[in-house]
Structure 1
Amino acid sequence: MLDTLKFFIFVLLLLITILLNQNVTSKKSGERDISQFWRIENENGTLKIENQTIPSGIYSALEQALIIESVLDFKNDLTTKWIARDNWTYSVPLTCNIKELNFTNVVLTLHGVDTFSKVYLNEELLGETSNMFVRYRYNVKNALRNECKNSPELRIQIRSPVSEASLLASQYDQLKIVPECPPPRYNGECHVNMIRKMQASFAWDWGLAVPSMGLWKPVRLEYYDSAKIRDITFALFDEETHWRMLVGVYLESGTTKRKLQGTLMFKILGVQLENEIVNVSKNSDESGELFVEHTLKVNKTSVELWWPNGYGRQKLYNLYVKWEDNAINNVQLHYRETLIDEKVIRIGFRTIQLSQERTSDGLMFYFIVNSVPMFMKGSNWIPSSVLPESSYDENYVKFLLYAARDANMNMLRVWGGGVYESDYFYQLADELGILIWHDMMFACSMYPANEAFLNSVKVEVIQNVRRIQYHPSIAIWATNNENEVALRQNWYGTNVNEDVYIEEYKKLYVSVIQPRIAKVDKWRAILISSPSNGDQSTKEGYISKNPQDPLYGDVHYYNYIHDGWNPVIYRGGRFISEYGFQSFPALTSWPVRDLRNEELTDLIEHRQHSPLGNVPILHMIDENLPMPSNESTDYWRDIIYLSQISQAMIVKTETEVYRSKRIEHGTMGALYWQLNDVWIAPSWSSIEYGGKYKILQYWIKDVFAQSHVIAYINAMNKLDVYLVRDTLGSDEVWTVEVNIHQWDKFMRVDNLTFHSIKVPENTVVRIGTYDIYDHLRQKNMDPKEHLLLINLLRDGTKIAENFVLLKKIKTATQIADPSPRPPLGSRAPHWWPHYSWPRLS
């Protein structure tokens, strides 16, 4: 009887519990994406665009509404200049959700406003924005609750960046911030260096002026009771049998100071960690931010290493971090999730070191990854779109990064005139093994050093380094692009007040940016500038006498005077982080209504922003190739194709010289300028805007191959032959065949073979110098009618091939025009003489 009564009471209590909780749902913290139903209008209300989705920019929105044609078409960069001179307001109705408003913290987070704005909730000013690279947060709980009856509206009034830049320049009471305007040929806007916005958006030598405005990153309403994990940083240190992991967790407890008490838990699935839990009891700062640093240990045998492309797998691990507030034990079950937050990052176990040991004549400059010295092969990355919101196009970013991976690149340099890229960009770089040389977003200019500017930069650097620091792909930071060399070489007339400009330079980069990177990131090298002399620049007070000294640091090298097909002109350096040559995009890529010479000539001239115009391109064609008549109806078809041949040949030659100089000059990196483009225009890119490969992109795959044979005519007019092996492992035995061909024959007419060459891992072997012209004389062969085709064999199998031109192509008399020509978009063969004069159409 007693047991029956106990069972009845248990069932009754259970039913009561169910009845009491049947209308109670679990309260869970989270965020609401405010991405739809935005309205955009200009200042006088004459233009209105409804139902816009975030991310958004004004140029994209106007095009989608059919108010303008694409700014990338025709000469629309000129006809749309009015857009950036107007002011634009983004507005959206905010629904009141009582469940959200019941949380302790209800925070409006603007991840990216471009650029100057006032943010309102109905008529209440929440705050202002002035830096497109900064995340802004506003606690809107009370404001939103008060406005619930009045149909709350979020309104972001964005001001003209052109006008703001001009205003700031006029108000700056110190030295002029130079250059004040870009060269007239750019058709750009002035004073971009006064504002924290994509520097290339006011025009560059490869890009158009599109000073966009908008919400280029997400807008979200975040709600939680305890704290939110915003960022996680990660550093790795080698301790013989273990990895010591230094994990930093950045928590936000709303937007005001508050004491947090709770627990952080760390987990890597399938991997045993030491010290997985840390107790937290500390106050956040005045903005609600709190930093917790914790050390974890993992046995080395429990994890695999992450390797750059070409050296091994890119093994990544999910690091789970969970925050639990101590109050979790004092609340009902359905409230507990309000006191919890979780975040996952993908980490890689790898070490990276920038080695600058002293030599007899200078300092080395190379990267050691997982104890392996590596030659860095790659290119420079500019924004995937001149419209910032389009940088979120994951398909296009994926296409470009896969193109880099497939071309045997192991490094890209994120250039300092663009943007800090999307999370997806870095995630994909991690997956593909592409190391990132990362500039801060300062390029080719002097910058203000007043308090307001420096304070904005502090926040910008801290936020962005925290966001992306954990990625194993990031190899090094540089605080600016070319500003040291610009200052030292007086690019902008700074020698008149040089001491003051140097003082402001150091204030910005040495006193503000560098220490803030170092505080967040404890395991990467930081360069003050690129190019620079590295440690030697630091020794000389951060402004070297010659920041382009080839015996130190990194070098940017462009030569438009001498014959770029001639390998002798390339002096080399420790690390060449920029070099290249221009070409034209394919004929059918040009946005013209017809391809008659007059219209195309006009558009090409308009879009050629290089101060030298088309002269270097045409000069190199004329120097080495048969020059088409400018009276020909096919003039541009021929010139475009020949420009791509010339560009490919120049970059191939220069890159191979740098790869060969690893043993003689300690050259350990070659990053050509540039991988991608932002519009169809003459530029240095190997991939056109939209994704069409230029010939260079096909060739560079072979030039950057893990196993390669390099041969060229040296300054003594003799043939140098080098073997390049980037792979790891035991010694290999290779054979080199040097085949002599006539231009009008596919069969070889003579042959030289070098047998049984031992090639160790990860090195370059110079197999010798040969007087090839004496050999030809003995065989009664005319150099201008012959070329060398070189095969590299391992165990009788060809693993690489190359070619050497013995005289300029234009002097050869036996080259025929083959037929039929390959179709548009067909792959260029590995050595271009095979297809002589087919044309890109």
Structure 2
Amino acid sequence: MSGNTVQVLSSNWEFKCETDEEWLPVSQVPSNVHTELMRHDLIPDPFKDTNELEVSWVAERTWRYRTNFVTPSEGRGQGARIDLVFEGLDTFAKVMLNGKVILQSDNMFIKHRVNISDLLAHSAKNTLEMTFEPARRRGLELVKAHPEHDFIVHQTEVSRGPARKAQYHWGWDWGPILLTCGPWRPVKLETYVSRLEDIKVNYEIHMGQGVPITLEATIHAHVLGPAAELEVDLLFPDGRAVALKDRNGTPTGASSWQYSSTRLSMEKPQLWWPRGYGPQDLYELRVRSIADDGSTILAEEHQKIGFRRVELIQENDQFGKSFYFRINGVDVFSGGSCWIPADSFLSRIAPQQYRDWMQLLAEGNQNMVRVWGGGIYEPDAFYTACDELGILVWQDFMFACASYPTYPEFLASVSAEARQNLCSLRHHPSIILWCGNNEDYQLIERYNLEYNFESDKDPQSWLKSTFPARYIYEHLLPNIIKDESPSTAYHPSSPWGNGTSTTLKVDATVGDIHQWDLWNGEAKPWQLLPQMGGRFVSEFGMVAYPHVDTIDKFVTDPAERYAGSRTMDFHNKAVMHERRLLTYVGENFRIDWAQGIEAFAHLTQVMQADALGVGYKSWRRDWGREGARRCGGVLVWQLNDCWPVTSWAVVDYYMVKKPAFYAIKRAMAPLAVGVARKFHDWTARPADEIWRRNTGHVDSRKMLTDIEFDVWVASSRVETVRGKVVVRFVSVTTGEDVRERIEEEIQVQPNGCTEVLMGCKFDWDKATVAEPEHFVIHTALWVDGVQVSSDTSWPDPVKYLDFRDRGVTVKHLSQGLVEVSAEKPVKGFVFSEKQRVKLSDNAFELVPGEEPKLVQVEGGSGELAWTFVGR
């Protein structure tokens, strides 16, 4: 027999609740019980209204799936082995074949392979049945069974702590409580004589100044079953091929062989680069096991790989200790987003959706995505898209916001999970960092747990402490990384400060930080973000409503479509959002409740865009220059949603972009000019140095009399660029310039920040108006006669400004092109976006005397609604 066959068992399944008599047809596998119940109209859509509450009973039941299949004819009497492969079972599952238990699983992140060769019926159909027990019940049983552990979890309840299931299924401050179950990834029947169990490529890239880049690689393969030879072909991006053969296999068991190819050396290899820094060159690796006759192919695997050298630079400097990535010898500023699962029901996410999401991220000038530890190890389609688009991946292991246990069975399961997922994903060049967890170390301070990084270096003692999970993050996981992917950087946690800063306190001098004194914590004004950065900001964010088209999808009762309705509040899981959102909006904007939910949604969106735009552009400014990288990256919380909701996402569940998406896009442009004025906090002032109390006695005249501003240009280009910066001062009231413009010819330094104007004081004596008045500072960067970037600074708070009579004109030109202009400065001009409608630009400021904004609209029909602040 040659080759192998794979049959995907996707159809002819049935399901039922264990206590029911009737079996119901399943649409297809992968599956989960909620979507099947919806298909049969047995539960309402949990994403609409408050239906999440109406379906909670589903998670309390035991559910069964079954199917029948015929024994493969090619496996009968030919010495072949037949395996059932379960790529993902969610979560506490018992699997039976022809009435015999063949598998018990308690980890949804593990793939299972079961040899069923001796269990098949050779003359009849085989019955495969799965039983899924309630995850919450089983989790509580495990908590009770292990009193030696103090189970501490944030976000919902303790039962998720010992359950190796996607943690967000228990609900989060942006997601519903929907405890799913079912075969969430494919089930396959595989027949083979020989199989490639594992392929591993170890390589080193040597680079030095004036020396050609060289690559040395070794390809390893683990083969199950008979094989005489390993054949390796490496197909170059330009089409060339190199064939490697090695007949010196080493037996590792009765029917297992370990092969290593001859060492491959290349001079000037084609490297993989992050987007914006070079091409995403990918090689194709083809590995075959060959039979004794020298020609029969017993098994074959293909794998796309990319060669790149990644370094996490953590060096002492004038700011503390750096934290940034150097790729192929080039420092790279990481600007991107945190990623949560794209749906509460994972089985219905199509591979193309992952490509669309990463394409959207790339279109937004982002170059990094962080796969958050409360979700899943994403499918191959996600990482393949990142490889091809040049998106860097920060990959968390699946632990989030808890003090996890370390009893032997749990550690064994975690070890298998980590090793298996690492081996399946390590060939993706986009993955440049594995991180132990999300925010687990923050529990140390909150609950006074034991942790002494400097004096306690004994992993066995950690298991006996009140924070035993340190064993997982600082011993188990890094050792698995060392074994399976030694060239990949590892970071114990996010945030984590090299043992010196691991708790709730933000240390801006070391490691990465989660900056949640915006919204959470002290809930500081977003205008203070420039002073709230760190060496790498791996989380920060601001809540905003989605567009009205999305709101209409999940609020079916028109009477509930108002800000603060029961349904709207239910679709906002953020703690104390009723106070925080209104506070932030009320601090900055006039609220006219009579204008309805559309107007309020718009204000929340503009506020989110303002906050995130300031964070990105100011912390990118801190990228500085070589040798002085004060901030190495910014990742917003979060890119996406798992259901329709009011949240921190910059793109909603239906892939409709919020204004903040465009603010990030502008701040992360290859060449981005920035302007910022001195901030006068109008909400609080310290009364004196003794009492240090905040009072309401604020001198609001300083908005007009004490004006300082900075202008800079950030660049990710690898070459120096000559350009011109133009700064204008335009009256909010009249639309006229209040003083003459400033023009500066500059050389924009590569891969860093070029300061243009610093600490410039505005002198009213040089103004062209008789009395001080509010004005915007508009700055533009011109290169070769083309405006490539602009930025606008408004006086704070904008609620004090008069936005009457703006003279806005929206012209619909040919072929979906729209032109927007204004006679006076306009704040937060936003087209109300819809699903399947794509805009080239949105959510911008309008300044008279500048070129009109041109927006290309694709998809949909009719004119889009639009508004702006104060309309």
Fold conserved (TM > 0.5)? yes
**Residue 579 of structure 1: CA displacement?**
0.8
- Give the match's secondary structure for 1:328: coil
Task: Give the residue type in structure 2 aligned to 1:660.
Answer: R
Check if 1:595 corresponds to 2:558: yes
Check if 1:728 corresponds to 2:718: yes
Q: 1:546 to 1:381 in 2, by over 3 A?
A: closer
Check if 1:762 corresponds to 2:770: no
Matches within 5 A, 1:256-267: 261-267=228-234
TM-score, normalisation: structure 2: 0.84
Between the aligned partners of 1:544 and 1:702, the Cα distance in structure 2 is 33
Between the aligned partners of 2:106 and 2:600, the Cα distance in structure 1 is 45
Q: Could you tell me which residue of structure 2 aligns to residue 687 of structure 1? A: 651
Between the aligned partners of 2:489 and 2:769, the Cα distance in structure 1 is 57
Check if 1:737 corresponds to 2:713: no
Q: Could you tell me which residue of structure 2 aligns to residue 156 of structure 1? A: 130
Check if 1:640 corresponds to 2:601: yes
Matches within 5 A, 1:204-215: 204-215=172-183
Task: Check whether the contact 2:373–2:396 (CA below 8 A) recurs between aligned residues.
Answer: yes
**Residue 598 of structure 1: CA displacement?**
6.8
| Count of aligned residue pairs for this structure pair | 781
Aligned partner (choices 59, 79, 98) of residue 122 of structure 1: 98
Q: Could you tell me which residue of structure 2 aligns to residue 675 of structure 1? A: 639
Q: Could you tell me which residue of structure 2 aligns to residue 11 of structure 1? A: none
Between the aligned partners of 1:358 and 1:589, the Cα distance in structure 2 is 47
Q: 1:611 to 1:142 in 2, by over 3 A?
A: same
Q: Could you tell me which residue of structure 1 aligns to residue 785 of structure 2? A: 796
Q: 1:641 to 1:289 in 2, by over 3 A?
A: farther
Between the aligned partners of 2:542 and 2:831, the Cα distance in structure 1 is 25
- Quick one: percent identity of the two aligned structures? 24
CA deviation string 1:358-377 (max 9, x = no partner): 11452111111111111111
Unaligned runs of 5+ in 2: 453-460, 680-705, 811-829, 834-838, 854-865
- Give the match's secondary structure for 2:375: coil
Q: Could you tell me which residue of structure 2 aligns to residue 422 of structure 1? A: 379
Task: Check whether the contact 2:251–2:258 (CA below 8 A) recurs between aligned residues.
Answer: no
**Residue 783 of structure 1: CA displacement?**
6.2
Check if 1:666 corresponds to 2:630: yes
CA deviation string 1:726-772 (max 9, x = no partner): 1012x222211111112245554433323221222111111222444
Q: Could you tell me which residue of structure 2 aligns to residue 105 of structure 1? A: 81
Task: Check whether the contact 1:662–1:668 (CA below 8 A) recurs between aligned residues.
Answer: yes
Aligned partner (choices 446, 452, 475) of residue 511 of structure 1: 475
Task: Check whether the contact 2:31–2:347 (CA below 8 A) recurs between aligned residues.
Answer: yes
Select between 43-52 and 312-321 the one with higher mean Cα deviation: 43-52
Task: Check whether the contact 2:803–2:869 (CA below 8 A) recurs between aligned residues.
Answer: no
CA deviation string 1:26-84 (max 9, x = no partner): 75422111111111111012453214311111111111222222221111211111111
Unaligned runs of 5+ in 1: 1-25, 184-188
CA deviation string 1:171-220 (max 9, x = no partner): 113122112x735xxxxx54112111101011011101111111111111
CA deviation string 1:311-342 (max 9, x = no partner): 222122212112224x335xxx8xx34xx211
Aligned partner (choices 111, 114, 118) of residue 135 of structure 1: 111
Between the aligned partners of 2:751 and 2:13, the Cα distance in structure 1 is 55
Q: 1:719 to 1:665 in 2, by over 3 A?
A: farther
TM-score, normalisation: structure 1: 0.87
**Residue 593 of structure 1: CA displacement?**
2.1
CA deviation string 1:220-253 (max 9, x = no partner): 1111112334444454422654643434545352
Task: Check whether the contact 2:659–2:843 (CA below 8 A) recurs between aligned residues.
Answer: no
Aligned partner (choices 24, 31, 46) of residue 71 of structure 1: 46
Q: 1:767 to 1:112 in 2, by over 3 A?
A: same
Task: Check whether the contact 1:817–1:837 (CA below 8 A) recurs between aligned residues.
Answer: no
Between the aligned partners of 1:293 and 1:749, the Cα distance in structure 2 is 73
Task: Give the residue type in structure 1 aligned to 2:730.
Answer: H
Q: 1:818 to 1:797 in 2, by over 3 A?
A: closer
Task: Check whether the contact 2:250–2:259 (CA below 8 A) recurs between aligned residues.
Answer: no
- Give the match's secondary structure for 2:714: strand
CA deviation string 1:94-132 (max 9, x = no partner): 112221233421111101111111111111111211111
Between the aligned partners of 1:650 and 1:781, the Cα distance in structure 2 is 33
Task: Check whether the contact 2:439–2:495 (CA below 8 A) recurs between aligned residues.
Answer: yes
- Give the match's secondary structure for 1:670: strand
Select between 240-249 and 586-595 the one with higher mean Cα deviation: 240-249
What do you get for the CA RMSD once the two structures are aligned?
Answer: 2.9
Q: Could you tell me which residue of structure 1 aligns to residue 396 of structure 2? A: 439
Between the aligned partners of 1:169 and 1:689, the Cα distance in structure 2 is 34
CA deviation string 1:454-480 (max 9, x = no partner): 000111011111111111111111011
Task: Give the residue type in structure 2 aligned to 1:792.
Answer: L
Check if 1:455 corresponds to 2:412: yes
Task: Check whether the contact 1:674–1:686 (CA below 8 A) recurs between aligned residues.
Answer: yes
Task: Check whether the contact 2:249–2:257 (CA below 8 A) recurs between aligned residues.
Answer: no
Task: Check whether the contact 2:60–2:137 (CA below 8 A) recurs between aligned residues.
Answer: yes
Q: 1:251 to 1:362 in 2, by over 3 A?
A: same
Between the aligned partners of 2:592 and 2:802, the Cα distance in structure 1 is 16
Task: Give the residue type in structure 1 aligned to 2:776.
Answer: L
Task: Check whether the contact 1:103–1:223 (CA below 8 A) recurs between aligned residues.
Answer: no
Q: Could you tell me which residue of structure 2 aligns to residue 612 of structure 1? A: 576
Task: Give the residue type in structure 2 aligned to 1:196.
Answer: R
Between the aligned partners of 2:40 and 2:869, the Cα distance in structure 1 is 39
Task: Check whether the contact 1:439–1:477 (CA below 8 A) recurs between aligned residues.
Answer: yes
Q: 1:165 to 1:773 in 2, by over 3 A?
A: same
Q: Could you tell me which residue of structure 1 aligns to residue 671 of structure 2? A: 707
Check if 1:306 corresponds to 2:272: yes
Aligned partner (choices 70, 76, 80) of residue 55 of structure 2: 80
**Residue 667 of structure 1: CA displacement?**
0.9
**Residue 829 of structure 1: CA displacement?**
4.4
Select between 553-562 and 803-812 the one with higher mean Cα deviation: 553-562
**Residue 637 of structure 1: CA displacement?**
2.0
Q: Larger % of helix: which?
A: 1
- Give the match's secondary structure for 1:109: strand
Q: Could you tell me which residue of structure 1 aligns to residue 293 of structure 2? A: 328
Aligned partner (choices 217, 241, 244) of residue 246 of structure 1: 217
Check if 1:585 corresponds to 2:550: no
Task: Give the residue type in structure 2 aligned to 1:364.
Answer: S
Q: Could you tell me which residue of structure 2 aligns to residue 348 of structure 1? A: 306
Between the aligned partners of 1:83 and 1:693, the Cα distance in structure 2 is 32
Task: Check whether the contact 1:90–1:156 (CA below 8 A) recurs between aligned residues.
Answer: yes
CA deviation string 1:491-546 (max 9, x = no partner): x564799975555122222222221122110211100111111xx32xx5xx7477
Between the aligned partners of 1:355 and 1:830, the Cα distance in structure 2 is 36
Check if 1:824 corresponds to 2:800: no
Between the aligned partners of 1:75 and 1:753, the Cα distance in structure 2 is 55
Q: Could you tell me which residue of structure 2 aligns to residue 222 of structure 1? A: 190
Q: 1:503 to 1:586 in 2, by over 3 A?
A: closer
- Give the match's secondary structure for 2:20: coil
Between the aligned partners of 2:409 and 2:133, the Cα distance in structure 1 is 18
Matches within 5 A, 1:286-301: 291-294=258-261, 296-301=263-268
Select between 799-808 and 587-596 the one with higher mean Cα deviation: 587-596
Task: Give the residue type in structure 1 aligned to 2:556.
Answer: R
Q: 1:81 to 1:503 in 2, by over 3 A?
A: closer
**Residue 400 of structure 1: CA displacement?**
1.4
- Give the match's secondary structure for 2:171: strand
Q: 1:810 to 1:547 in 2, by over 3 A?
A: closer
Aligned partner (choices 662, 678, 695) of residue 698 of structure 1: 662
Q: Could you tell me which residue of structure 1 aligns to residue 856 of structure 2? A: none
Q: 1:753 to 1:289 in 2, by over 3 A?
A: farther
Task: Check whether the contact 2:555–2:568 (CA below 8 A) recurs between aligned residues.
Answer: no
Between the aligned partners of 1:582 and 1:832, the Cα distance in structure 2 is 24
Q: Could you tell me which residue of structure 2 aligns to residue 10 of structure 1? A: none
Task: Check whether the contact 1:407–1:701 (CA below 8 A) recurs between aligned residues.
Answer: yes
Task: Give the residue type in structure 2 aligned to 1:434.
Answer: I
Between the aligned partners of 2:401 and 2:486, the Cα distance in structure 1 is 28
Task: Check whether the contact 2:324–2:536 (CA below 8 A) recurs between aligned residues.
Answer: yes
**Residue 432 of structure 1: CA displacement?**
0.6
